[in-house]
Amino acid sequence: MEPPHSGDLFGDAPSAAPTAGAAPGAPLAERMRPHTLDEIVGQSHLIGPGHLLRGLVEDRHLTSMILCGPAGSGKTTLARVLAASAGQSLVELSATSSGVKQIRETAQAAVRLQQHGGNQTVLFVDEIHRFHKGQQDALLPWVESGAVCLIGATTENPSFEVIAPLLSRCRVVRLESLAVDDLLVVLRRALATAAPRGLGDTGVAVDDEVLLKLAASAQGDARAALGTLELAVQQAALMQRAEVSERDLAEALQRPFLRHGAEEHFNEISDLQKRIRNSDPDGAVYWLARLLEAGDDPVYVARRLLVTASEDIGLADPQALTVATSAVQAVHALGMPEARLVLAEVAVYLAAAPKSNSAYRAYAAAVAAVRETGGLPVPMQLRNAVTPHMRAEGYGAGYEYAHDADAGVSAMECLPDEIAGRQFFAAAERGAEMWLAQRVEAARRHRARLRRGADREPSDEASS
């Protein structure tokens, strides 16, 4: 057997005793928590020899940090091990149940401890993204003064969820999902470890193929993998079987575990829109299924499809906007699970439709002109002359009624003098927009001809 490598969660030489505070009846994941850095499997980029966190432990001096990573990647375990390994006191708060008063009392107690010769206190805040701004502000003076060493844990992107002043005082440390091979180490250790910590005394074995399926289904989450293993072993034992079957595993799993925090939500909805933009109905349906099966709000998904219909399909298929609008109404009327079929139909339609972002680009160009030139006055010929005073001031003078003009197009300039003649819309020659492009160009040529005072241009007439 290869020697344990120090960068690996739940390593090869676990302690036989349960984790402190983990009663025999605690979940398997809690009982199997590592006690030292060398027991941890995965995260070698952080705790391997010569890397950041191992260096801090060896120096016995921790710095405030935010541990961000997926569920089951070892954030809580790592915080506990870091504090213990560095010889520092640890106080744990949950962002779901702790208020400003408890934060202040904990920090004051930490100051008193240091004043009496004690070690610095490590304050571990689980799910720190759930702290509102006031609670995060309450942490600032204690972190800045060094009264506490803050270790926050979050499954979300701290750039969005942690206030900037607090984030600037902490080192952001990103944990990765565990690889399937890492999870296999975790699962085999649990099966080999004796009770009360592990499952070694159950008399139930797990075939390598079943174990591999279990590890793959957990999507890098050690807690989920151990929880499923415990249920599967219990199911086999209940049925008096000596080995976990695939049916036992299926019973324990029920349905695939889908990680779906805020960051995954936005990544997946972005992937859905990008697959539609790239005319890929297969990719669009896949990401739609990922969103809906993870429990995403179907109304939100329908609204994002509506955005895609206007932003990416646009004038190349104006009907797409009508289809997407109908989908929003249908999803409201139906709800799940039927709404998933409506959304699948629309996602495929939008992916297959011709694409154009000409309206998007036109609006962006117009916004750039507005920001560049500011609030230019409306040309006098375009102003409504609704009172005698306005008419006397010249409001509406020179207005040309397009319906009275040849071909329904007048020579009148409709932009302020400072940007007269500027073009914002450039048609894409795709789908229905090819006809639109011809109409826009024909109107522009006719308007230019009228402004030049020419009655006709043979080349233009021929091309019309």
Mind listing the domains of the chain with CATH numbers?
Answer: 43-174 (3.40.50.300), 180-253 (1.10.8.60), 262-352 (1.20.272.10), 385-463 (no CATH)
Residue 273, pLDDT score? 92
pTM: 0.59
Percent of the chain at pLDDT exceeding 90: 20
- Rounded CA-CA distance 125/64 in Å is 11
**∠ Cα 100 162 109 (to 5°):** 35
Tens digits of residue pLDDT in 406-452: 778 777 788 888 888 888 888 887 787 777 777 777 888 887 888 77
Tens digits of residue pLDDT in 68-127: 988 888 899 999 999 888 888 888 887 777 778 888 888 888 888 777 767 778 889 988
Tens digits of residue pLDDT in 321-345: 999 999 999 998 988 888 999 999 9
Q: Looking at the predicted structure, is the pLDDT value of residue 142 above 70?
A: yes
Residue 461, pLDDT score? 45
Residue 276, pLDDT score? 92
Q: What is the mean pLDDT of the chain?
A: 82
For residues 412 and 353, the model is more confident at 353
Mean local confidence (pLDDT), 359-371: 89
Q: Give the best-scoring range by mean pLDDT among 130-134, 171-175, 455-459.
A: 171-175
Tens digits of residue pLDDT in 22-61: 666 789 999 999 988 888 998 888 888 888 888 888 877 8
